[in-house]
Structure 1
Amino acid sequence: MTHTPRKRFGQNFLRDEGVISRIADAIHPQKGEHLVEIGPGQGALTEALVTSGCRLDVVELDRDLVTGLLAAFSIHPGFKLHSADALKFDFATLADDGAPLRIVGNLPYNISTPLIFHLLGFAPLIQDMHFMLQREVVQRLAAEPGNKAWGRLGIMTQYHCEVEQLFDVPPEAFYPPPKVQSAIVRLAPRRERPWPDCDESRLKQVVQAAFAQRRKTLRNNLKGVIDDAGLEALGLDPGCRSETLALADFINIANATADSTNAEKG
């Protein structure tokens, strides 16, 4: 399939057969499973997925790639192509067979974060997700408290999913080679959370406020959200920075402030 990579779509096509094989092994698709590939590009990974006998839906934005993908893979009965923008795509429409979705993608770096947040909205329908991302983004997804990579992306993703950083992929595995290092990550939506559920919209508000200015303290960033006494009642030091707090701490703040907001409304 001949195609000139388009910068506006953030296209870097995977070419290294060894890397392709390693990614396919990590995904390990099985006959009868339902996979969804986002941005199949020239079909480097698509071949390894569809020949497993799985049902495979692919979502491709670049219409110039559609004809080649259909010519290469329509022979497989489980293959279906959707010419659409993954950021706007309703993935719930694919969950019509009762099988959990397994999402796969070499995600363009410029849309990776908003696309992950979009997909988290469908977490109950998803078994797992395997993504090729900029390594810095993977490090943020897999970060732990106390690490400077710990922030909104990792907190909200880990609220929904278990995160596992699998392996790095060098720039020379792509055409054209990107200017950044890449990595593969596995996200597995949690069926049971090890902490109480909370109002997710409130949690998002708390986390966004807490990391509005990373160098400032909780006291400053959460002014208007919770006072010093409220933080201390949760066992938190108002003078510490947000990056030192665990996910459970943010959930406790969200729950505490949601309760007070509801009480004020009542």
Structure 2
Amino acid sequence: MRLRRGCRSLYGLTMPKERAAKKTRQHEHIQKQGIRFHTEKGQHILKNPLIVNGIVEKAALRSTDVALEVGPGTGNMTVKLLDQCKKVIACELDPRMVAELRKRVQGTPAARKLEIIVGDVLKTDLPFFDVCVANLPFQISSPFVFKLLLHRPFFRCAVLMFQREFAQRLVAKPGDSLYCRLSVNTQLLARVDHLMKVGKNNFRPPPKVECSVVRLEPRNPPPPINFKEWDGLLRIAFNRKNRTLNASFGVSSVQALLEKNYRIHCSCKSIAVPADFNVKEKIASVLSAGGYGERRARSMDVDDFLSVLEAFNSNGFHFA
């Protein structure tokens, strides 16, 4: 019995020392590279090769593809993409990471296939590409998704890493607690699929939240609508998603906006506005005619909102 307790004590002392030594070696390697990751800028490097391989596999790359990678960091995913693509265009904001990436492929055949754009991807005109792969900084997730989906010419698909809750919002369906304007806008423009969950310990340094990988496939052709006007409608409907549309459109500021746009529309079309025009009654009649007055944004899908937009537009109301 004493021997067994001694063995347990021995293992209890040895294992933490081994883990500590391994962690110290990793930190020494990072220090030798001269890289200090800026977590406030979203620099969390994906270090698990199994996850990297899984993301590249889900992108279904072809040998003739041009791949766009956003936030390549030290190049763990970049080198995998270079193995399978004709060309990789990497967009990186941090010059230190750019230098590390160049160093990683220097003197190899892959160096000729790599193009690096140094700068903020939100302020950069995106080049032509077939597939986008990105481990995105969390703070640019929403603007980048819409920059991507409104990009032309169309690309085949995008495989993107997001904060878990943001990814869940992208794929949420009517009735889900996370269903929101982001869900509807994204699903209008693309087919969205949740691919895998990624724990925070797969990154260096680990973020404070769990992550998920999502695949986006743009709808081609896109719905024939004005996206700014569409988003204007959703902003009103989702300002309080649990309200009925009658209540959302009953707000005085919303009615003032719609009346202003209605009068501009009539002026442009040389349509006389009746002297007894009442915007509140007109809006209520549009909603009741389509049976949407008592509906709530939380339970309406893309087709429902398209019908509401069509009803308002056909009656001279616009949101942009």
TM-score (norm 2): 0.75
Kept in 2: contact 1:168–1:183 (CA 8 A): yes
| Partner of residue 20 from structure 1, selected from 42, 52, 68 | 52
**Number of residue-to-residue matches in the alignment:** 254
| Partner of residue 33 from structure 1, selected from 65, 70, 76 | 65
Q: How does 1:130-145 map to 2 (within 5 A)?
A: 130-145=159-174
Kept in 2: contact 1:14–1:173 (CA 8 A): yes
Kept in 2: contact 1:199–1:255 (CA 8 A): no
Write the deviation string for residues 199-231 of structure 1: whole angstroms up to 9, x where unpaired.
221111001111112332211223325733212
Kept in 2: contact 1:124–1:189 (CA 8 A): no
Runs of 4+ in 1 over 4 A off after TM superposition: none
Give, as a single letter, the amino acid of the residue that structure 1 aligns with 2:96: D
Number of the residue aligned with 1:3: 35
Structure 2 CA distance for partners of 1:145 and 1:73, relative to 1, 3 Å: same
CA distance in 2, matches of 1:130, 1:57: 15
Structure 1 unaligned blocks of 5 or more: none
Structure with higher helix content: 2
Aligned Cα root-mean-square deviation (Å):
1.9
Structure with higher strand content: 1
Q: How does 1:179-258 map to 2 (within 5 A)?
A: 179-192=208-221, 197-223=224-250, 224=255, 227-236=283-292, 238-258=293-313
Structure 2 CA distance for partners of 1:49 and 1:83, relative to 1, 3 Å: same
- Residue 28 of structure 1 and its aligned partner are, at CA, apart by 2.9
Q: How does 1:75-90 map to 2 (within 5 A)?
A: 75=108, 76=110, 77-90=112-125
Number of the residue aligned with 2:8: none
CA distance in 2, matches of 1:168, 1:244: 26
Q: Partner of 1:215: helix, strand, or coil?
A: coil
CA distance in 2, matches of 1:244, 1:34: 39
CA distance in 2, matches of 1:154, 1:222: 21
Give, as a single letter, the amino acid of the residue that structure 2 aligns with 1:156: N
Give, as a single letter, the amino acid of the residue that structure 2 aligns with 1:81: I
Kept in 1: contact 2:154–2:218 (CA 8 A): no
Structure 2 unaligned blocks of 5 or more: 1-32, 259-281
Q: Partner of 2:179: helix, strand, or coil?
A: coil
CA distance in 1, matches of 2:164, 2:216: 15
CA distance in 2, matches of 1:88, 1:191: 25
Kept in 2: contact 1:35–1:104 (CA 8 A): yes
Number of the residue aligned with 2:182: 153
- Residue 180 of structure 1 and its aligned partner are, at CA, apart by 1.0
Structure 2 CA distance for partners of 1:102 and 1:244, relative to 1, 3 Å: same
Report the identity percentage: 28
Write the deviation string for residues 213-257 of structure 1: whole angstroms up to 9, x where unpaired.
233221122332573321222232x23321111111111222222
CA distance in 1, matches of 2:291, 2:152: 31
CA distance in 2, matches of 1:49, 1:213: 43
| Partner of residue 168 from structure 1, selected from 197, 200, 222 | 197
Q: Partner of 1:104: helix, strand, or coil?
A: strand
Give, as a single letter, the amino acid of the residue that structure 2 aligns with 1:33: D
Give, as a single letter, the amino acid of the residue that structure 2 aligns with 1:113: S
Q: Partner of 2:192: helix, strand, or coil?
A: strand
